């Protein structure tokens, strides 16, 4: 694990945003006349781009899906963003990686504006050289596009970096950019989902991930 650059997904990899995301999706659906009392049924929204997830899950056309995204953001930017918690051991892992001389980045489909505030609020922003996310208009919500942008902007050779994530989108995006990738099993992707993408590494727990770095 001698990669000098480590790229982290945010939701499901660094933090558990379950409550904030599902409650904000629930709110958005309610604004469109859809009652969904079971938050567990909305957990599949954690990770993928919201617009596409609303379209796939509820058959919305793009215009209606954008209405849902905007309703989601009404609640998320004020309340849902803070209904979140770092996974136990994340600050210690980031401290270890930085002490080893590695450069860290966040690469998330979440809008950069929200990702930066989450990192600031939970006290981990200082570990990262830069936080890369999408734009509010949907630009770079696709993980492959986002990672290509990060690599080009930072001038990183693909073989020098490792992408760490908990959903197939992270692994697919890494593969399309020539990056090695580590799947983590403590997030929101199932074992089958992650194994199907044949990641370079697969760590079931955060402790396994930590130990991989010595």
Q: Are 48 and 193 in contact (CB under 8 A)?
A: no
How far apart CA 137 and CA 58 sit, in angstroms, is: 21
The pLDDT score that the predictor gives to residue 174 is 98
Residues 6+ apart with CB under 8 A from 35: 29
Please, which pLDDT band fits residue 26 given cuts at 50, 70 and 90? very high
Residues facing residue 104 across a β-bridge: 6, 128
Q: Are 104 and 89 in contact (CB under 8 A)?
A: no
The pLDDT score that the predictor gives to residue 47 is 87
For the stretch 144-187, pLDDT in tens is 999 999 999 999 999 999 999 999 999 999 999 999 999 999 99
Tell me which of 9, 11, 16, 166 is the catalytic residue.
Answer: 9
Q: Give the closest residue to 185 by CA, choosing from 162, 202, 169.
A: 202
How far apart CA 49 and CA 169 sit, in angstroms, is: 9
For the stretch 68-97, pLDDT in tens is 999 999 999 999 999 999 999 999 999 999
Q: Give the closest residue to 147 by CA, choosing from 163, 128, 125, 160.
A: 163
Instruction: Compute the half-sphere exposure of residue 118: CA atoms within 13 Å on the CB side of its CA.
Output: 30
With pLDDT > 70 as the criterion, what percentage of the chain qualifies?
100
Longest dimension (CA), the chain: 51
Residue with tokens 């991930």: 209
For the stretch 98-149, pLDDT in tens is 999 999 999 999 999 999 999 999 999 999 999 999 999 999 999 999 999 9
Average pLDDT over residues 209-214: 95
The answer to whether 35 is a known catalytic residue is no
């Amino acid at each position: 694990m001698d990669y000098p650059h480590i790229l982290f997904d945010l939701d499901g990899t660094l933090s558990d945003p379950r409550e904030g995301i599902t409650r904000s999706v629930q709110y958005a659906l309610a604004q469109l006349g859809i009652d969904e009392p079971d938050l567990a049924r909305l957990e599949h929204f954690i990770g993928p781009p919201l617009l596409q997830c609303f379209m796939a899950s509820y058959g919305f056309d793009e215009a209606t899906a954008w209405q849902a995204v905007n309703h989601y953001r009404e609640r998320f930017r004020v309340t849902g963003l803070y209904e979140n918690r770092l996974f136990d051991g994340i600050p210690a892992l980031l401290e270890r990686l930085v002490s080893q001389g590695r450069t860290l980045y966040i690469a998330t489909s979440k809008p950069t504006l929200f990702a930066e505030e989450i990192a600031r609020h939970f006290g981990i922003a200082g570990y990262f050289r830069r936080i890369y996310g999408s734009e509010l208009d949907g630009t770079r919500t696709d993980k492959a596009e986002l990672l290509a942008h990060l690599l080009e902007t930072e001038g990183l050779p693909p073989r020098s970096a490792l992408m760490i994530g908990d959903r197939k989108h992270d692994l697919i995006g890494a593969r399309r950019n020539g990056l090695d990738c580590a799947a983590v099993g403590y997030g929101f992707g199932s074992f089958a989902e992650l194994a199907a993408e044949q990641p370079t590494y697969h760590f079931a727990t955060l402790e396994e991930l930590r130990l991989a770095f010595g």
